[in-house]
Chains A and B, each alone.
Chain A
Amino acid sequence: MSVDASISCQEVVELLSAYLDGELDPTTLERVEAHLAGCDGCTMVLEEFRETIRLSGGLTVEQVDETQRRTLLEAFRDWRAGS
C-alpha cells in the first residue's frame, strides 16, 4: 500500500493534524503529499480528521452558570463603588 518508502503510513497519521493546519516544513509536506497521493488508507483517515474538526465546530458553546455571572457582576459593581 505504501508508495513512498521514505515515509510510512504509521508516520503519516501522526502528521495529519499538523498537515491540516499548514504547519509542516516543506520537505515533510512534500513527502506527506506524495504518500497521500498513493495511499487510500491514509487519505481516508485524513478526510475523517477533516470531518472530525468540522463536526467539532458544531458543538454548542456552553453557558455560563447564572450564579457565577451574578457574583461576577456584583464584584464589578463593588470595585467601581470602591474606586
Chain B
Amino acid sequence: MMLVDELGPSMRRVARMYVSSDAVTDEVVQEAWLGVVKGLDGFEGRASLRTWIFRILVNTAKTRGQRESRSVPFAALAGDDLDQPTFDPTAFGAPGDPNAGAWSTLPFDWRGMPEERAEGTETLHVIGGAIAMLPPMQAEVIRLRDVLGWSSDEVCNALDLTETNQRVLLHRARTKVRGALEEHFRSVSEA
C-alpha cells in the first residue's frame, strides 16, 4: 500500500483535472488502480513504475472525461499566461531605454534569512499556499518535481506533457513560489 500513499493525493488531483466531479474522480482512480493490478504482468519496466501508473491514470481520466463530453482546454489546466513574462516587466528598463532589459528595481534579497526562520513551518505554509494557488497543471508539475523529486522525464511521461511545456510550467510555478517567499520574508523583516 506504500505506492497508494505516495501517489494517491497526486493521482486524485490529476484525475480531477479531466472529469466533472469528486465522485467520478474516485471512480477513475479506482479504475486506474485495477488497471495497474491487472496489467502488472505486462509491465516491462521501460518506464518507472510510478510513471506507468500515472499513464494508466491519465488515459483512464481522459477517456472518462470524453465520455462525459467534457473537453478541458489545455490553457484551463496550464494557466492562460504562458506566453507572458514570468517576472514583473516593470522591474527592468523599458524597451528603447539605454538600460533596456537590465534590472531597474532589484527584488528583495532574502538570502541572509536566519536558518530557523527560513526553514520554519511558516515558510512551508507559504510554499504550500503558493502552490495551491497555481493553475492545476503548474501545481502538479512543481509538486512532482520539487516536492517529490521526480525527474523531468518522469513528469513528462506521467502527465503526458512535452519537454517544452513541462519546462515552461515548472519555471512559472517556481517563479511564483519564489515570489511568494520574497513577499513573506520582506514582510517579516519589516515587522
Quick check: B127 and A59 within 8 Å, CB to CB?
Answer: yes
Please tell me if B191 contacts chain A, counting CB pairs below 8 Å: no
Given A14-B86, A55-B123, decide whether A64 and B4 contact each other with a Cβ distance below 8 A.
yes
Number of cross-chain contacts by CB at 8 Å: 130
- Residues from chain A with Cβ under 8 Å of B85 in the complex: 10, 14
Interface string of A33-73 (1 = CB under 8 A from B): 00000010110110111011101111111111100110111
Q: Does B119 contact A (CB under 8 A)?
A: yes
Is A72 a contact partner of B30 (Cβ separation < 8 A)? yes
- Is there an interface contact between B37 and A69, defined as CB atoms closer than 8 Å? no
Query: Which of the candidate stretches B40-48, B51-59, B170-178 sits at the interface with the other chain?
Result: B170-178
Residue of A whose beta carbon sits closest to that of B12: A68
Judged by a CB distance under 8 angstroms, whether B26 is at the interface is yes
Known: A56-B142, A72-B33. A1 touches B181 (CB 8 A): no
Q: Are A2 and B106 in contact (CB under 8 A)?
A: no
CB pair A47 B111 closer than 8 Å: yes
We find that the number of chain A residues with CB closer than 8 angstroms to chain B is: 43
Report the nearest B residue to A79, measured CB to CB: B34
Determine whether the beta carbon of A68 is less than 8 Å from that of B109: no
In the complex, whether B8 has a CB less than 8 A from a CB of chain A is yes
Q: Is the CB of B100 within 8 A of A64?
A: no
Q: Chain B contact residues (Cβ within 8 angstroms of A): what range?
A: 35 or more
Q: Shortest Cβ distance from B90 into chain A, in angstroms? A: 11
Given known pairs A2-B101, A56-B142, A76-B33, the reply for A23 and B152 (CB within 8 Å) is: yes
Known: A57-B147, A72-B29. 16 other contacts (CB 8 A): A9-B101, A14-B87, A21-B152, A52-B181, A56-B131, A56-B142, A56-B147, A59-B147, A61-B6, A64-B8, A69-B5, A71-B30, A72-B30, A72-B33, A75-B30, A79-B37
Residues of A within 8 A of B (CB): 1-2, 8-11, 13-14, 16-18, 21, 23, 39, 41-42, 44-45, 47-49, 51-53, 55-65, 68-69, 71-73, 75-76, 79
